[in-house]
Structure 1
Amino acid sequence: MVELLSVRLEKWEKATEWPLTVLSVVFIAIYAWQILAEPTGWMGALADWSMNALWVIFALDYLVSLALAPRRWEWIKHHLFDLAVVLLPMIRPLRVLRVLSALNVLHRTGGMALRGRIVMYAAASVLMLVLVGGLAVLDAERYAPGSSIKSYGEALWWAFVTITTVGYGDYSPVTPTGRIIAFALMLAGIALIGVVTATLASWIVGEVSADEQRATEVTREQVEAVSKRLERIERRLGVLAAGEADRGQVVSSNDDEDPDD
């Protein structure tokens, strides 16, 4: 039974991976439209309805995956982020968490070396988190009293300096939600710096190991070449020694047959 559920869960995740990624991108696009265009009337209602419908789809996917999991509590403990993605988007500014589900597919993309996937994942994460983090903080701060973030350009600049852990301080959030977003971006920036550093260190170690391996291969080839030359010399010396011995025997025989003796 456990093996059957595991197989079904794996099939479900493979079947829904790309559709959910596309829906995540649509989710983010609608969210951006809501923040930047601030639609009203029936267009605003349509945007809200679309967001809620997509959220229901994500929640259903989580529930189906949970039902198919052979060990549900273990699955929940290992998928707390997925649970947060489903629950927290109910709070409008934190819906940006959905973007990370789209990045998961990039992280698992095949046909590329592990180091290449890590670099692509880190670059895509920075870009998406800056763009969507700017949207989230603008949504939280735009109309807050005393806020310095009033436009998307200012929000983008703030998100960039925050995720790079520079933090000039020219713009800063004043609302609790904005500060939560700032905290999340700072953590993401620290994590991404760690990823880049580890990838660079891995590349350096790999290059050094490759150089050592090439040097070892060259040395091995040289030793093999010298060994072969020594073998050829030994064979030639053996042939020469055998020839000298044969000539010595012939001379000795001739001496024995000499009539003067």
Structure 2
Amino acid sequence: MRDRPLIPPAQDRWDRWMETPLTVTSLVFLATYAVRILGHDLPGFARDLCLALTYASWTVFLVDYVVRVRLSGLGLLRFVRHHLLDTVVVILPLLRPLRVVSVYDRVQRRHDKPRLTLYARVMAYAGMTASLLGFAGALTVYAYEHDAPGATILTFGDSVWWACATLATVGYGDVTPVTPMGRLVAVGMMGVGLALLGAVTGSFSSWLIQAFTRDDERPPGDSPGAS
């Protein structure tokens, strides 16, 4: 398997500089999307403002993507092949927290000692990703389901309950989507739920194993605080 190309210094600086602005932008995107779906009684100008902010947020991600393609020096096709997750984020900016995958990859490469802060960061990102995607999935399903014939998801509360059960891979079945879009969202959330649970449990288990392995291999009489 071929190694991923090294990130040029200019692209690395751009990525670090844009990390916080892009995270804020994804939250703005999600907030305006939520207002448009849940704000049934909003006046027209308010809905138009939310729509404008939604498209503006999307534009920020598109500009960032174009700049990263230019700085990478790979060309568009090679960049897409090596940065598939970033391409998905451009299509759906609210999925930006899914870049936890890159953090999880960094954890797996560190076998010398347990790095609690890094493992904790993976679990924190996974929790944030689950929360954001659960909320976004609940919004999307509610938008398509609440007035569909034969629907069981009639309120946003029903949709949130369904999203929690789906992400946790429990699947109570008391409320289920009946529209094609609702079922498509459900399939995606099932896969994401399994991936997030695996990332959290895998990271925590790896840290515990490495911590106890170091304790077992310590020479007799060598206390943890010994210099």
Same fold (TM over 0.5): yes
Q: Which residue of 1 aligns with 2:96?
A: 101
User: 2:48 corresponds to which letter in structure 1?
Assistant: A
Determine whether 1:74 maps to 2:104.
no
Instruction: Give the deviation of 1:103 after TM superposition.
Output: 5.7
TM-score by length of 2: 0.80
Which structure has greater helix proportion?
Answer: 1
Instruction: Give CA-to-partner distance per residue, 1:5-53, whole Å, 9 cap, x none.
Output: 9222222222222111111111111111111113341111111111112
Name which structure has the greater RCO, CA cutoff 8 Å, separation 6+: 2
**Contact residue 28 and residue 54 of structure 2 kept, 8 A:** no
Q: Is the 8 A contact 1:164 1:189 kept in 2?
A: yes
**Structure label with greater radius of gyration:** 1
Q: What is the CA–CA distance in structure 1 between the aligned matches of 2:30 and 2:101, rounded to whole Å?
A: 16
Partner of 2:26: 24
What 5-or-longer segments of structure 1 have no aligned partner? 88-96, 222-261
Distance 1:27 1:207, change over 3 A: same
- Distance between the aligned counterparts of 1:68 and 1:112, measured in 2? 33
CA distance in 2, matches of 1:172, 1:52: 30
The residue number in structure 2 matching 1:161 is 165
Shift of 1:183: 0.7
Are the aligned partners of 1:163 and 1:189 in contact in 2 as well (CA < 8 Å)? yes
| Structure 1 residues 134 and 28: alpha-carbon distance in aligned structure 2, compared to 1, 3 A threshold | same
AA at the equivalent of 2:49: L
| Cα deviation, residue 112, structure 1 | 6.5
Query: 1:126 aligned to 2:121?
Result: no
What is the CA–CA distance in structure 1 between the aligned matches of 2:171 and 2:185, rounded to whole Å?
A: 14
TM-score (norm 1): 0.70
How far apart, CA to CA, are the structure 2 residues paired with 1:104 and 1:112? 19
In the alignment, is the contact (CA less than 8 A) between 1:134 and 1:156 conserved in 2?
Answer: yes
Identity %: 37
Residue in structure 2 matched with residue 209 of structure 1 by the alignment: 213
Instruction: For residue 128 of structure 1, report the CA deviation from its aligned partner.
Output: 1.9
What is the rounded CA distance, in whole Å, between the counterparts of 1:136 and 1:8 in structure 2? Answer: 37
State yes or no: 1:57 paired with 2:60: yes
Q: In angstroms, what is the RMSD of aligned CA positions?
A: 2.6
